[in-house]
Amino acid sequence: EICIQIGEQLMNLHINYEQAKEYSKLEWFENEGVPFSWRVEKMRLSNDKRVVVVNESLRLGPIPPECFEYRLGNRSALDWVIDQYQVSKDSRSGIESDPNRLDDEEYIVRLLGKVVTVSVETVRLVNELAQAVKMGDWMDVVE
């Protein structure tokens, strides 16, 4: 029963990630010496992984450490978004890929907050599942 409940919560969380609330403990920090912009060229994490440098004028943090515990393959979901949501140009065709949305200039920044929420909640639910179901419970089913 608990496995089904947690599984459904995880499924809903991941299917509906774009409707997730932005992580409530994140704050936006503006660089006062630079004109404000939502535009993303290439984001990066600070060395201590506590802040996302969105652009020259905007930073987001603090990023909770558990955000990096949820991984898609060999990197966290946040690392994946930071890597994929950047302006790039194909060297052969010269075609530029720009993830910034003209109809919603805050989209990428909001997405970061939602990905942090989904990551932290995923870690919480997986830990809850691990507490609810012990390895011995599975071994009894196999026998």
pTM beyond 0.95: the answer is no
How many domains does the chain fold into? Answer: 1
pLDDT of residue 135: 66
Contacts of the segment 72-80: beta carbons below 8 A, 24+ positions apart? 76/119, 77/115, 77/118, 77/119, 78/45, 78/52, 78/112, 78/115, 78/116, 78/119, 79/45
Amino acid occupying residue 23: Y
The SS3 assignment for 60 reads strand
In percent, the amount of the chain with pLDDT more than 90 equals 88
* Structural domain for 39, as ranges: 2-142
Asked if the model's pLDDT at residue 25 lies above 90, the reply is yes
Looking from the CA of 51 toward its CB, the CA atoms found within 13 Å total 12
- Find out whether 51 and 59 touch, Cβ atoms under 8 Å: yes
**How confident is the model over 36-77, as pLDDT tens digits?**
999 999 999 999 999 999 999 999 999 999 999 999 999 999
Alpha-carbon distance values, 119 to 96, 98, 122 (Å): 30, 25, 5
Helix (H) or strand (E) holding 118: helix 107-132
